[in-house]
Every structure is written in C-alpha cells, then in structure tokens.
A and B are shown apart, each in its own frame.
Chain A
Amino acid sequence: MTSENSTDLSPGDAATRVARWRLGGVIALVAALVVTVVVITGRSDDKLSASDPTTVYGGLELTVGQKFTMASFPIDHPGAELRMIRVEALTSPNVEYVGAYALWPRDLARGSLAIAPGFPAKELRMVREFGAAITAEETLRQGASGGYLSASVAIGFRLVSGDVGAVNGIRVVYTVNGRTRHMDFRHAATICASKAACKAADDSKWSDDVLRQFDLVPGGN
C-alpha cells in the first residue's frame, strides 16, 4: 500500500528531506495488520511485495522515536559506473523511512554494517551523497579476500510507536553505466521497544511471528 500522505522524495540529506508519514488517527501496535510500502519518488510497475525473507536480523532493541540503520545491501558491478536512484521498503505501519546514503566500495573494505541503532549509525565510517556517481575505478577495488568490494546503501528508519516493529524487503533502484536496474533484498529486521517484547525476542520463532503479525510475509494474519 502506498501512503497517500507520502511526499515525493529524493533520498538525500536526512536533515532536510525527511519523509513524514502517519496513519490518520490509527497508530498500529502489535496487532497491526496493514503493510506499508514507502515509495520514494516514482512508482515501479514491478512492485515490491511481501515475500519470505532470506536474512533476518532479529530483536534490535530500540526506544520509541529512535532511528536505526540497515546498510548491508551489496551491489556488485565491477568496472561499471553506478548511481543510486531511489529505495523502496516494506515496513510495518509504525516504522517510517527517514533517508538514505550511498556507501562506496572503499567504505566497505573493513567490513559492512548490517544493522544498528541511529541514523546514520555511528559505526558507519563514511556516508556518501545518494545520487553521486560511483566511478568504474571505484567499483574495481578489491578487498582482503581478493574479491571485488561491493557498493551499498545505508537506509534509515524510525520506530514511530509501539512495542514491536519490522522491515521486510528493500528494493534499491540504481543505474549501471546509465542503464536503470533494481535489486531486491529479502532482508528483514524485527525491532523490540519494551522489556516484555525484548524478552519475548529471546525465542527463536519470535521474528517469524512478528513478520506474520504485520502481514509482511505471504500467508500472514
């Protein structure tokens, strides 16, 4: 579902271009059933839809109103020039998008950040302008393992309300030598924001239950 209140945003400086989105009068809590798609500029005909996640980051402890960063979205095109265009995300209604930065291959030479509180998370050594060109020379950088280093994006979200929140599914739209492509990452994150919820997150099935509660997986509630 695309929120009617979403503004046309180009990902960039989080301080000046922040997506403001709220459900009119209905703040979803644990029993929320509505899936939110945050679309930043434009619309894709091939929609990002609920799917079983391939990677789950379970039980990130936050407080209400706190931001968090998801940043491990490896994009590999060695020898090509890349530009990030936009991101889309499937979230629970009480999680809002707050911005995005690009990460260059050199920024990931000493490892990447999967997820952390704060945006941009303090663990990120460097963040780059979202739409700036990542040169072909940059995408040919190699890491200690001998493989080519990836480019990535760091995406910021905020837990607006409630004890529990979730993200499941990120689409990154970018250009490769001028041609537009997109890559979907079936990565999920589950957030707990109360003592009880974070205690429940000790159960290895908790994240599955949260994703189902928010209808973020097929065959959910």
Chain B
Amino acid sequence: MRTGIRTSIAAAVAATLVVGLAGAATAAPAPGVVTELLGSALVRFPEFAPLPDSAGLGAPSMVRGVLRDPAGEPLRGAQVLLAAWPRNEELAKLPIGGEFELIPLARTVTDRSGRYDLRMGLTPALVALAGANGIDIELNVFHGGRHYVYLSQVHPDLKAATWAGSALTHALVPAVRERADGALDLVLDPATGEDLNAAAPVALAAGEPPIDERPITRGDLPQLGMSCTNWKLLGTQKVMTTAASALIRNGATVVTRYDEGSSTASTTGLSIDGGISFGINGSRERSITTGAEFHPVTAARGSALSREFQVQIVQEVKRRVCHGNHFQRYKVQYLTQPSEITGGGDVIASRLPQWTCHEDNIADAGGLKAVFTTDARAATYSSAFTFTPLGRASFTGAAVSGYSKTVRIEFRFQKGRRGGWCGDSALPTKPDQRLQGFQL
C-alpha cells in the first residue's frame, strides 16, 4: 500500500486561477469593514491571504447567501473562505494514506446582515475541476472563535458564464435553504463549530477501528507556516444507501431502474471531537457509471409490501491536522463524504412507516399495463444510511435521488384488473412524492 502520495493538482490549478479573479472592482468597502484575512482564518489558511476580498470584485458570483445562528441572528463579520477540491474522478484513485490540498478560490467577510458573496471567474483550469456532478467545494467559516466547515457543489454554466448551485445537495441539509435565486443560506450552530480556544479532546476510547488509522506523528503536525488545507485519506467503507422506495398492494408489481447516469446525493459528516461523534456538515451528489438493476417485486393479493431500493456508495474517511489557537496545540478534524456509487441492487423491507392513500390523492389508471414518473421528483430519506467511520460512534446520514429518465419506479398491473397509484401527500404526479401502486 502506497502512502504519503500527494497530488500535484492543487499547485497547477492555483497558478491559473489568478486570472479568474480579474474584473472591475466594485465600490470600496464601507468604513470600518475589515477586508484582510485575520486571526485563526489566517493561521489555518494562510494561502487565502493574497486573495482579494470578493466584495471588491466584478467576477461572477460562485456561492452567496446569508449566514445565521440558530436563533436567526445574522453572523456579522464572519471570515468566509471558499476552496475547491480536486476533481472527484481523480481523488477516487487516491490510495489509502494519500493526500491532497484544497485549492483556494475566494474569500470575503459577511456584512451586517450576515450576507456573503464569493466571486470567481470561469477559468478553464477551474472548469476542468468539474466532474460528472460539478465542482466539490468547501466553505470554511470563522466566527465567534469557532471554525465551521461546510461541503457542497457548484456547476459551471458556460453559456451564461455563471455558476449554479446543486439542487439535489441543497435539498438534503435541514440547515440549508436554497433560495429561488440560487443563494445558499446557512444556519451555523456553535455546537457544530470547532472551538478554537478549547483544549484538544481527551484520549479517545479504546477499540479497534475498522479503518487502519495511522497514528498522528510528528510529521503530521502542522509546522509554523503550514496550513489546514491538507486532507489525508484514512480509508473507505462501502455503505448501502436508500435511493428509492415504493409501496405496493394487492397484486401490483413494482419495477425499479437505476440506470447509468443516475445520481444520489448523500450527506457529509464532520467530527471536531476526535472522531467521537459526527455531525452533518453538507452533502455531495454522485452518479453511477454502470447502472443497477432491481428484481421486480409483487405484492400478494390482499396484502401490502413496502420496499427500499439501495445502492452501494463508497464513503471516504479523511483527516486533517490544524493549528489551534494556542502555541503547539493542534486539532484534528475527521470528515466523511461520498466518493462514488459502485453498484448495489439491495432491496430491503422498508424502515419507513407504511401509509395509506388519501382518496383525493389517488389517480385511477384504468386498464393500463404500467405507469411511472420520470421527472426529477425525489423523496429525501432522512435515515438513508448508517456506518461507523472510525469504529467508534456511528454516523447516520440522509440521501436523495434525482428521479429522471434513469431513476425510475414503475408500477405494473395484471391484465384485466384496474390499477391505481397515489402520492403520500398529493397526486402522484406532483413533486417530492413517495409513491404507492395498487390494484383495485
């Protein structure tokens, strides 16, 4: 097993990204507004210091929104740093122990309303980072002595020369709300942010982690001038994740397809207590390259069957070591994120409660053979997967799939018998429905 391999993508891309920052400067910042990179943000991410504050740039907006605390109060004066990850298809080849560095893109400071706007031009080098599901981005926010980390994705729109967020990923995290104008509002709970002034966590509980975690050695410790931009891959786990569900009754059959190109977004997890617990800190979407088939499932006459259709997602566990706020103190952050969908086809009894149709949500399908919906209508599965990243506490995450031509749930009915279908909260053709098929 090769170790200590560091990708060189970051250096090559960073050199060309300077071009992306060009653009006419906008109005000068208001008096009293701090524009330099300061404090812990500067200590942990000095590479961002040369970047100008996005507030003064005319480049297209890459990520923007409002930061608030759980009480709804705006986070004023927060330092917000935006970085890209190397292309996911390249990172998937990283061996255990391999490392990569974040690619600094933009930085800014939130205004009195908690607003931030991170700007970046669509340079060829940056657009080249876009994989099948866009560019993986990482937001690092510093406010009130805490460091927050949020993961998401953006897509380059070359025709319009703008950036777009990812609808699937934004749908997943309760603290996130994507506005109609594409802005990304975040609620940052101090309980989920790393306390930069706290001492390092106490010794971890004993146990054999499933991942062969190398102990942190002197070589891992951040040296003066080194930053927090380096992530190391500790290991991977294949996790079965619910991608779709269906309920059938009384002789109806369900046929589910998850063809090549189908995608599922799953939440990412961050641990700031040495791996004792993981909290949701964003989400990322991945697409399958080979397709997964599920066997048809038929409910017996007079009975109901509820099934979840699962795909196999490779979850990576990563680690980085960063300076604390005290000399020679360091902190460790662990991260889980989906790497790729590698197959699947598990059909399990659904953990979701069975539900009955309200009569006004039923659509009678007459003497049809089959009915299905193919638009991007997805239901979010809040407990779509559970695994133990480090063999200690478990992490339960959510997932949502983009129903499309490739992700399809089809209800089939027996000849000579009338079929019907319904949605759990509206007619089955309306968005975000869990579906039920039955024979009358």
Contacts and interface: CB of A to CB of B under 8 A. Distances in A.
Interface of A: 52-61, 72, 74, 108-117, 121, 123, 143-145, 147, 149-150, 185-187, 198, 201-202, 204, 207
A52 B404 CA distance: 10
Interface in B153-189: none
A109 B359 contact: yes
Given A109-B359, A147-B426, A116 B370 contact: no
Interface stretch (B323-331, B361-369, B378-386): B361-369
Nearest to B367: A61
A116 B257 contact: no
B368 A55 contact: no
Contacts of B368: 57-60, 114-115
A207 B371 CA distance: 10
A57 B371 CA distance: 5
B372 A55 contact: yes
19 contacts: A54-B373, A54-B377, A55-B375, A57-B365, A60-B366, A60-B367, A74-B427, A109-B360, A111-B361, A111-B363, A113-B366, A116-B364, A121-B366, A123-B366, A143-B358, A143-B359, A143-B361, A150-B427, A202-B369
Q: Which of B361, B363, B374 has the most CB of A within 10 A?
A: B363
A55 B366 contact: no
A123 B255 CA distance: 27
Closest 9 CB pairs of A and B: A143-B360, A59-B369, A116-B366, A54-B375, A145-B358, A111-B362, A58-B370, A114-B363, A144-B358
B295 interface: no
A106 B340 CA distance: 48
Given A57-B365, A114-B365, A204-B410, A147 B425 contact: yes
A149 B360 contact: yes
Given A111-B359, A147-B426, A123 B364 contact: yes
B417 interface: no
Given A57-B370, A116-B364, A143-B359, 16 more contacts: A55-B375, A56-B370, A58-B371, A59-B368, A59-B369, A60-B368, A74-B430, A110-B359, A111-B359, A111-B420, A112-B427, A121-B366, A145-B358, A145-B425, A202-B369, A204-B410
B351 interface: no
A147 B421 CA distance: 18
B405 interface: yes
Contacts of B371: 55-58, 114
Contacts, number: 113
Given A60-B368, A109-B360, A145 B426 contact: yes
B372 A58 contact: yes
A59 B370 CA distance: 7
Contact of A108 (B360, B412, B429): B360
Contacts of B427: 72, 74, 112, 150
Contact of B369 (A54, A109, A201): A201
Contact of B375 (A111, A123, A143, A186): A186
A144 B360 contact: yes
A173 B412 CA distance: 32
Contact of B362 (A61, A112, A147): A112
A206 to B, nearest CB: 9
Contacts of A115: 365-366, 368
A148 to B, nearest CB: 10
Interface in B372-419: 372-375, 377, 405, 410, 412
Interface string B311-325: 000000000000000
B23 to A, nearest CB: 35
A207 B428 CA distance: 19
Contact of A74 (B365, B373, B421, B429): B429
Nearest to B421: A114
A187 B359 contact: no
A218 to B, nearest CB: 11
Contacts of A60: 366-369
Nearest to A110: B359
B370 A111 contact: no
Contacts of B367: 60-61, 116-117
Contacts of A144: 358-360
A145 B369 contact: no
A207 B370 contact: yes
Contact of B360 (A110, A113, A116, A201): A110
A207 to B, nearest CB: 7
A115 B374 CA distance: 18
Contacts of B410: 58, 204
Contacts of B429: 54-55, 72, 74, 185, 187
B364 A112 contact: yes
